[in-house]
A and B are shown apart, each in its own frame.
Chain A
């Protein structure tokens, strides 16, 4: 009998659960919302804070064994900066590139993209001395660096910001986003800490090497490298629900519960890991559901997955349990990237949301 089964005797489960609940509410723990932990029939995971039905032995989201004692340390040291990243143009997913050789393809590669137009072993991206070199490995559907289609085994230098195309999959190359110094911030909404600033670090490790352990302890999960938070062009203002306002920057905004999104909403179980994206161009701001479980609604109508929807002032948007109003910003001169006001504003918002939660 495995140790799992051994712990699944009902009495033991109850006992353990109680213990976990207490631990979860204990001061000093990344404190949960007391309203939620007492909800009948569910158990809040001490690790990721998602609610799971009581009968389930494992957290439905992160898989933590709920009958086991939560670890003493639920915080993680900050991850070392990614030397470079590929950002998926359609859904904003970020793929880390390490120093040295990174393979791109459909099977067993460092950058793994499940797309039928991508060959199993499609291309190679080499990071050396701050420059990024892309090389096609004889793929069926080819590789493009910017507008240039590169032949097989023709190493081609790609500057930061270049659009790379592998088969039909497109991504933007970002180099040293975090290590650059001023852009290293994660907006972590709805957590216990509103904003988590990961200090820039020039320490980098080779692939497979030990991680850089040094750094400030931050609230878990801090794994998102900061998106270059540009000036806010619009916002989704909370009308009702648990999540705070969402700032829309000119860059791609990705919304979801998981780390890796620009806007992380970890405390709403109705938000999918990757829920929706918002893109703004000169024609307007567009909201796209990227395959969420519970859907994205604009004025009461559920969006078709992967079909973008133009947002107009006053549109009512439902993401998870929160209803928002879309409010474009008044035309204003662009603010600088590292505008401290943005932090201040974000912190203020969080306070108001917290107050709202307690008043429920």
Chain B
């Protein structure tokens, strides 16, 4: 049983030692943290330690705690969305559909490993979870409609009967998979819904163009279904697969060898099983004299003073960041909230909508020396990471249009790798190293880099 506490602004509720920890990123406590986090809609309760606990906390960090009064200015703002690392209750049950490409090219080893991976999923699921399996080639087959698994052996037997066909009708396979999930959604509130889409090639049947497919993905996302895109081998369209994951807020994997398929399925399933919040949106309400110029790696929705940025589902103990660039109009000196920040989400552990609230606050001063002293290194760091993602995009574009030679691309990647290392993103830096190695051996760097970019843009830290 978890405990959740409503903190209202702090007074009368001293923060107990060991209680709400200040968010620590990169080892420095943020100065202008304004770590005022409120839970909405839950009864005030305390844990035995007196520590308030929320599924999601939000922290708002201005790139400079000071702004210059009476001047226009530009400043970055970092929104850190953090999921508590503690197990707050039973994990949310999942409603997962495996959408498997069984086109001709999957024949042999790949399909054998896919079967193994599917069986593995069956083994990992608990009685409450729901599984469906859809396969596609020219046609789409529902190998197993969405239901709880009673007889694991029987399901595995069905899986083993999978056979290869002809072409790749990815679109219809995807739609059929989503329909399976939808068919039981009314009875499964609070489930984590996810499609695992595995393909090894370009779509060759059904709707094939990027826009139709990604648009469909967007509609499914609006229904609460997220798609994780698994690209296998060297023939699939990485732009399409990464595009699906990006639009959907899902994950993207590049699976180089068939024997890695079961491992990737395991990893994705483990991720799903730790999700604590879905349908996550960061909503910024800007006050007068503040405008938003951009949100890095995102296409936010603007409506008047309100800017909304969708975030992918959040796993326990993980952090998502949103980096925005703001523009300030001239204003008199004083302390201002430049934006109210709300993180709205479905708490899947407790099965209810919830929110965390924070304030992005800046002190507008007249003293330029003070202003210069207020720069926040953490936000600087995030900006470097955002720039690294843009560098990657530019490098990939250069490779595709042949404006960059393989040597030039490697040099660019080296630079980006250094930036990522300095910014503490060792995992992503490693991926860039892999991409460089792939280039050296004449292999495919883009399939890896697509994933690196997506992870950076999704703010996974």
Residues of A within 8 A of B (CB): 1-2, 4-6, 8-10, 47-48, 57-65, 68, 70-71, 73-77, 79, 107-109, 112, 114, 211, 220-221, 223, 258-259, 273, 291
Interface 9-residue window, one of B83-91, B162-170, B330-338: B330-338
Contact A65 B336 (CB under 8 A): yes
Residues in chain A near residue B290, CB distance under 8 A:
63
Nearest first, the 9 A-B pairs at minimum CB distance are A63-B287, A5-B10, A63-B337, A65-B335, A58-B337, A71-B333, A108-B294, A63-B336, A9-B11
Task: Indicate with 1 or 0, residue by residue over B344-382, a CB within 8 angstroms of chain A CB atoms.
Answer: 000000000000000101000000000000000000000
Give every chain A residue within 8 A of B337 (Cβ-Cβ): 57-58, 63-65
Chain B residues with CB below 8 A from A112, complex form: 291, 293-294, 327
Give which listed residue, A57, A60, A71, A258, contacts B332 with CB less than 8 A. Answer: A71
**B15 CB contacts on chain A under 8 angstroms:** 1
Partner of A64, one of B35, B304, B334, B359: B334
Instruction: Determine whether the beta carbon of A5 is less than 8 Å from that of B288.
Output: no
Q: Please indicate which of the listed interface residues B69, B71, B332, B336 has the most CB atoms of chain A within 10 Å of its own CB.
A: B332
Beta-carbon contact of A76 and B34 below 8 Å: no
CB distance from B48 to the nearest CB of A (A): 22
Q: In the complex, which residue of chain B has the Cβ closest to the Cβ of A76?
A: B70
* Pairwise interchain contact A63-B10, C-beta atoms closer than 8 A: no
Residue of A nearest to B31 (CB): A2
Do residues B332 and A47 form an inter-chain contact, with CB atoms below 8 A?
A: yes
Q: Note all chain B residues with C-beta closer than 8 A to A5.
A: 9-11, 36
For B287, the closest partner residue in chain A by CB is A63
Which of B34, B71, B331, B339 has the most C-beta atoms of chain A within 10 angstroms of its own C-beta? B331
The contact sample of 19 A-B pairs, CB cut-off 8 A, is A2-B33, A4-B361, A5-B36, A6-B10, A47-B331, A62-B288, A63-B290, A63-B336, A63-B337, A65-B334, A65-B336, A65-B361, A68-B334, A73-B332, A73-B333, A108-B325, A112-B293, A211-B71, A273-B288
Residues of A within 8 Å of B71, CB to CB, are 211
The interface size of chain B toward A, counting residues with CB under 8 Å, comes to 39
Q: Which of B12, B288, B332 contacts A75 (CB 8 A)?
A: B332
- B contact residues around A47 at 8 Å (CB): 331-332, 334
- Write the nearest CB–CB distance from B215 to chain A, whole angstroms: 14
Partner pick for B287 among A61, A70, A76, CB 8 A cutoff: A61
Q: Which of B22-56 contact A (CB under 8 A)?
A: 32-36
CB-based contact B287/A58 at 8 Å: yes
Asked if B331 and A8 sit within 8 Å, CB to CB, the answer is no
> What chain B residues lie within 8 Å of A75 (beta carbons)?
332
* Of A8, A10, A62, A221, most B-chain CB atoms within 10 Å: A62
Docked pose: A61 CA to B288 CA in angstroms? 6
Closest Cβ of chain A to B13, distance in Å, is 9
Q: If the complex has contacts A58-B359, A65-B337, are A74 and B330 also in contact, measured as CB distance less than 8 A? A: no
Residues from chain A with Cβ under 8 Å of B257 in the complex: none
What A residues does B32 contact at CB under 8 A?
2
Partner of B10 from the list A1, A74, A259, A273 (CB cut-off 8 Å) is A1
**Chain B contact surface mostly:** loop
Report the nearest A residue to B332, measured CB to CB: A74
Cβ-defined contact, A4 with B302, below 8 A: no
Contact B36 A259 (CB under 8 A): no
* Inter-subunit contact A71/B11 (CB<8 Å): no
* Nearest chain B CB to A295 CB, angstrom units: 14
User: Please, which residues of chain B bring their CB within 8 A of the CB of A68?
Assistant: 334-335
B270 at the interface (CB under 8 A from A): no
- Looking at the assembled complex, report how far the CB atom of B18 sits from the nearest CB atom of chain A, in whole angstroms: 15
B289 within 8 A of A: yes
Q: Verify if B123 is at the interface (C-beta below 8 Å from A).
A: no
A-B Cβ contacts below 8 A, count: 99
Q: How far is the CA of A71 from the CA of B293 in the complex (A)?
A: 28
By beta carbon, the residue of chain B nearest A13 is B11
The answer to the question of B329 belonging to the interface, with a C-beta cut-off of 8 Å to chain A, is yes
Across the interface, B302 reaches (CB within 8 A) one of A61, A65, A114, namely A114
In the complex, A47 Cα to B327 Cα: how many Å? Answer: 19
* Interface flag for B305 (CB, 8 Å): yes
Q: How far is the CA of A74 from the CA of B35 in the complex (A)?
A: 28
- How distant is B291 from chain A, measured CB to nearest CB, in Å? 7
Contact A2 B334 (CB under 8 A): no
- Expressed in whole angstroms, the minimum distance between the Cβ of B310 and any Cβ of chain A is 16
Whether the Cβ atoms of B287 and A62 lie closer than 8 Å is: yes
- Min CB–CB distance B53 → chain A (angstroms): 17
B304 nearest CB across to chain A (Å)? 6
Query: In this complex, what residue of B is CB-closest to A48?
Result: B288
Which of B15, B70, B291 has its CB near the most chain A CB atoms (within 10 A)? B70
Q: A12 to B315: give the CA distance in the assembly, Å.
A: 40
Task: Indicate the member of B35, B291, B333, B340 with the most A CB atoms within 10 Å.
Answer: B333
How far, in angstroms, from A82 to B393 measured CA to CA in the complex? Answer: 36
The residue from A1, A58, A273 contacting B305, defined by CB atoms under 8 A apart: A273
- Besides the known contacts A62-B287, A76-B331, A79-B330, 12 further A-B residue pairs in the complex with CB atoms under 8 A apart: A4-B36, A5-B9, A9-B11, A57-B9, A58-B337, A63-B337, A63-B339, A64-B334, A73-B332, A109-B293, A211-B71, A259-B329
Is the pair A76, B332 in contact by a Cβ cutoff of 8 Å? yes
Cα distance A316–B350 in the bound complex, in angstroms: 53
Structural contact, A4 and B70, CB atoms closer than 8 A: no
Contact A58 B9, CB 8 Å, known A223-B329, A273-B288: no
Contact residues, B275-292 vs A (CB, 8 A): 287-291
Residue of B nearest to A7 (CB): B11
B115 to chain A, nearest CB (A): 44
Q: Are B335 and A64 in contact (CB under 8 A)?
A: yes
Contacts of B302 in A (CB 8 A): 114
Closest Cβ neighbor of A68 among chain B residues? B335
B283 → A minimal CB distance (Å): 16
- Which residues in A have their C-beta under 8 angstroms from that of B332? 47, 71, 73-76, 220
- A8-B33 in contact (CB<8A): no
Q: Which residues of A contact B10 (CB under 8 A)?
A: 1, 5-6, 8
A76–B36 touching, CB < 8 Å: no
- CB proximity of B58 to chain A, nearest CB, Å: 14
A171 to B335, CA, bound (A): 35
- Residues in A whose Cβ lies below 8 Å from that of B361: 4, 65
Give the distance to chain B from A274, nearest Cβ to Cβ, in Å: 9
A114 to chain B, nearest CB (A): 5
* Chain B residues with CB below 8 A from A291, complex form: 304
- With A2-B33, A10-B11, A64-B336 already in contact, the answer to whether A59 and B287 are too (CB < 8 A) is yes
The docked-state distance in angstroms from the alpha carbon of A68 to that of B291 is 23
| Distance of A1 Cα from B22 Cα, bound (Å) | 9
